[in-house]
């Protein structure tokens, strides 16, 4: 491996996987590599991935997240002033990859459990002078999503509860005219029968974005929704009520 080549890029190359030049231009690859090595080294202790996924972290989690963020940069406005939240972040996927951009937005990672996200917080604090511009651009919140309020410009949802019920959990976290990006893997969800439900939470579907460059791990799409109206007072409901409607 050449000095300029990161472990992440090398591991992809070993699997004959390449990343588009456009995606590479968005990211600070040294930050990506530090995050990648954190996930690998702490996977056993944190239980981040299943035994099947443990050998696919580079392509199934890091590359997929990078491609998705690249698609969001094209579809929305993501700058250093953008306030991003990752709902149900776990070990920081995909939210921490926003921090790995060359122009990192302000990132908040939210999870009700400290088991995995707490390990990432300690890793981030230990970066010290290696942090982007020496600034603290990543915040951590340990709470149930439906119990907090916010005014985020963009919220990402990946591997949370099924669509569209996951939107209820964050309906009071996104600001007016802000966006929610839902990662849909393989079986793309349908809005049939849920239109009034989304309307009641103030959301409208803007577009479905197919992710290009990760087809070898299956079909991947982003549902991009906009907070185009007010949220009805009944939302979000108590978790036990939401859970009872998930089939």
Structure confidence by residue, pLDDT tens digits, 178-192:
999 999 886 667 777
Sequence spans of domains, the chain: 65-245
β-partners of residue 107 are: 84, 138
Whole-number pLDDT of residue 164: 92
Token digits for 59? Answer: 């392509």
* Residue 176 phi, psi (nearest 5): -60, 135
The mean of the pLDDT values for the chain is: 92
In tens, the pLDDT along 99-111 reads 999 999 999 999 9
CATH architecture, domain 65-245: 3-Layer(aba) Sandwich (3.40)
Q: Residues with Cβ < 8 Å from 78, sequence gap 6 or more?
A: 69, 72, 84, 98, 101, 105, 154
In tens, the pLDDT along 20-55 reads 999 999 999 999 999 999 999 999 999 999 988 999
Whole-number pLDDT of residue 41: 97
For the chain, where are the E strands, in sequence order? 83-87, 106-110, 138-141, 152-157, 174-185, 203-210, 220-227
pLDDT at 2 over 50: no
In tens, the pLDDT along 111-152 reads 999 999 999 999 999 987 666 666 789 999 999 999 999 999
Lowest mean pLDDT among 89-103, 133-147, 202-216: 133-147
Whole-number pLDDT of residue 135: 75
Long-range contacts, stretch 209-213, CB < 8 angstroms, 24+ apart: 209/71, 209/75, 211/64, 211/67, 211/68, 211/71, 212/67, 213/19, 213/20, 213/23, 213/63, 213/67
pLDDT at 163 over 70: yes
153: nearest Cα among 130, 177, 183: 177
């Amino acid at each position: 491996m050449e000095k300029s080549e990161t472990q992440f890029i090398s591991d992809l190359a070993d699997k004959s996987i390449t990343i588009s030049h456009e995606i590479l231009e968005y990211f600070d690859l040294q930050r990506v590599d530090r995050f990648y090595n954190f996930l690998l080294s702490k996977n056993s202790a944190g239980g981040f991935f299943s035994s099947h996924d443990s050998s696919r972290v580079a392509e199934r989690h890091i590359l997929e997240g990078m491609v998705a963020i690249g698609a969001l940069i094209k579809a929305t406005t993501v700058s250093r002033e953008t306030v991003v939240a990752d709902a149900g972040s776990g070990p920081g996927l995909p939210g921490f990859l926003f921090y790995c951009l060359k122009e990192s937005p302000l990132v908040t990672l939210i999870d009700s459990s400290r088991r995995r996200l707490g390990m990432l917080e300690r890793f981030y604090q230990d970066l010290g002078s290696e942090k982007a511009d020496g600034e603290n651009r990543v915040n951590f919140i340990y709470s149930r999503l439906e119990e907090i309020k916010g005014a985020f410009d963009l919220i990402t949802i990946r591997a949370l509860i099924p669509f569209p019920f996951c939107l209820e959990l964050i309906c009071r976290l996104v600001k007016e005219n802000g966006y929610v990006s839902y990662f849909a893997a393989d079986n793309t969800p349908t809005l049939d029968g849920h239109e009034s439900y989304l309307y009641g939470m103030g959301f409208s579907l803007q577009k479905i974005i197919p992710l290009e460059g990760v087809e070898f791990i299956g079909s991947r799409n982003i549902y991009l929704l906009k907070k185009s109206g007010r949220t009805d007072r009944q939302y979000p409901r108590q978790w036990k009520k939401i859970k009872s409607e998930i089939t």
